[in-house]
Amino acid sequence: MTVKAAPSAAYDDLPYTRGGAVDRADVGALVQSAVDGDAAAWKALVEGLSPLVWSVVRAHRLSDADAHEVYQTVWFRFAQHLGRIREPEKTGSWLASTARHECLKLIKSLRRLTLTDDPQVLDRVSEDRTPEEFLIDSEEAAAETERIRRVWQEFGELGDRCRQLLRVLMASPPPSYQEVSAALGIAVGSIGPLRQRCLRRLRARLDARGA
Amino acid sequence: MMNDDMSDLTDVSAVNDDVGESFFDDMDFDTGPLEEELRRAAAILDPVPAELRQIAVEAFALHDLDARIAELTFDSVVDAIPVRGATSVPRMLTFHSGDVTVDVEVSAQGLLGQVLPPQSASIEVLSGPQAALPLVADDMGRFTSDVSPAGPFALRLRTAGEVVVTEWLRA
């Protein structure tokens, strides 16, 4: 399992693959090693699958505090169930599905407790990081920063279903369709067509803005 | 990459409001690079917070094959009928593991619970890989805490015969 903590130019050169097969082939083996007490294997699982869990949580548009709690709950429960999961090679789907259920439960409990439940109110993206912190200071980087900002902004303007799907798809490494299905409760067969439409929609928005 | 599959029209048409004008369907472009760009944007603008990743790494300490997991079988958030107008209703939870049942009531005032069948037990309220608050269940299996769990929590019970841990939940 490879870890791509920060974007790099090399990332562009990777062939575009649809998740699972390459990056996650060894998940089952890592789970087995972790069950046997190998902390490094556990760490590799966390590094490799954290972005997926985080993407699923973010796709459900919780507040930052709630998102943090769901993320932790999912990992605590995974640690607890380690060695008891029936299909270790499908750990990504297990995590995605657990994250989804915790998100839905939380949303339900918020609905119960507050009458002013408006997803928009809960929609806060952490603002404490700026792209500048991550990119080297050069003209090229500035152009990259600007493009990324624009893509992110237009992504945020998409409808709920598209935003949700794309937020899960943009986990790194790319999730398999089984994982996306577990994350969003939609049929594997409908993900491809929906993905195409959502990305076309985003492309059209960017083109309209002259990006 | 998958092509549009017309057998899925029912699913896809449900999101047409979201996705917009169908004339975009005729535009053919390679969606891979745009998805990659989104992935890069997410890695920069909304990455997994480093402190969260670290907590997940430390969560390995919660791995305990000797303890039995008590599964959540009732959660008032999911299974109960909402009380109209009530703003802070206690959350009722029931966990089962074999013949041991744990009932827990979580409210702003704290935590109230009972082990069934009634028996004494030493209990820890876990809130993460490091933090644990010790409690004692009396001979009737009752236990209380005036600390209300915030965030993820689990109970670890040591009875005469075994160790049982409740499934991790967000309080």
Q: What is the pLDDT of residues B39-70, one digit of tens each?
A: 999 999 999 999 999 999 999 999 988 899 99
**Chain A nearest C-alpha distance from B123 (Å):** 17
The rounded distance, in Å, linking the Cα atoms of A161 and A164 is 5
pLDDT band at B16 (very low <50, low <70, confident <90, very high): very low
Please indicate, yes or no, if residue A1 is contained in any of the structural domains.
no
Please indicate, yes or no, if residue A105 is contained in any of the structural domains.
yes
Cβ distance of A79 and B35 shorter than 8 Å: no
**Chain B nearest C-alpha distance from A159 (Å):** 5
Higher pLDDT among residues A11 and B20, named by residue: B20
Please state which of the ranges A43-52, A125-134, B131-140 shows the lowest mean pLDDT. A125-134
Cβ distance of B32 and A16 shorter than 8 Å: yes
pLDDT band at B7 (very low <50, low <70, confident <90, very high): very low
Which residue in chain B is spatially nearest to A84 when comparing CA positions?
B65
The helix or strand, by DSSP H or E, that contains position A97, with its residue range, turns out to be helix A91-113
pLDDT score of A133: 52
Instruction: Kindly report the average pLDDT of chain A as a whole number.
Output: 82
pLDDT band at B12 (very low <50, low <70, confident <90, very high): very low
Cβ distance of B44 and A134 shorter than 8 Å: yes
Q: Which domains does chain B have, with CATH numbers?
A: 6-59 (no CATH), 66-170 (2.60.40.760)
pLDDT band at B121 (very low <50, low <70, confident <90, very high): very high
Please indicate, yes or no, if residue A179 is contained in any of the structural domains.
yes
Q: Contact at 8 Å (CB) between A74 and A58? A: no
Is the ipTM, as predicted for this complex, more than 0.90?
Answer: no
pLDDT band at B130 (very low <50, low <70, confident <90, very high): confident
Higher pLDDT among residues A15 and A25, named by residue: A25
**Chain A nearest C-alpha distance from B48 (Å):** 6
Please indicate, yes or no, if residue A2 is contained in any of the structural domains.
no
Q: Contact at 8 Å (CB) between B112 and B105? A: yes
Domain of A179? Answer: 21-117+130-208
Task: Find the CB nearest B27 among A106, A158, A200.
Answer: A200
Q: B80 and chain A: CB distance < 8 Å anywhere?
A: no
pLDDT score of B4: 38
Task: State how many domains chain A has.
Answer: 1
Instruction: Kindly report the average pLDDT of chain B as a whole number.
Output: 84
Nearest Cα to Cα of residue B104 among B140, B146, B75: B75
Q: Contact at 8 Å (CB) between B104 and B155? A: yes
pLDDT score of A77: 97
Q: Contact at 8 Å (CB) between A56 and A99? A: yes
* pTM (predicted TM-score): 0.81
pLDDT score of B29: 74
Q: Contact at 8 Å (CB) between B41 and A155? A: yes
Rounded average pLDDT over B134-155: 94
Residues A47-98 pLDDT 10s: 999 999 999 999 999 999 999 999 999 999 999 999 898 899 999 999 999 9
Please indicate, yes or no, if residue A11 is contained in any of the structural domains.
no
Q: A124 and chain B: CB distance < 8 Å anywhere?
A: no
Token pair, residue A34, equals: 């972790």
Please indicate, yes or no, if residue A7 is contained in any of the structural domains.
no
Q: Contact at 8 Å (CB) between B153 and B171? A: yes
The rounded distance, in Å, linking the Cα atoms of A178 and A187 is 9
The helix or strand, by DSSP H or E, that contains position B170, with its residue range, turns out to be strand B169-170
Rounded average pLDDT over A142-165: 93
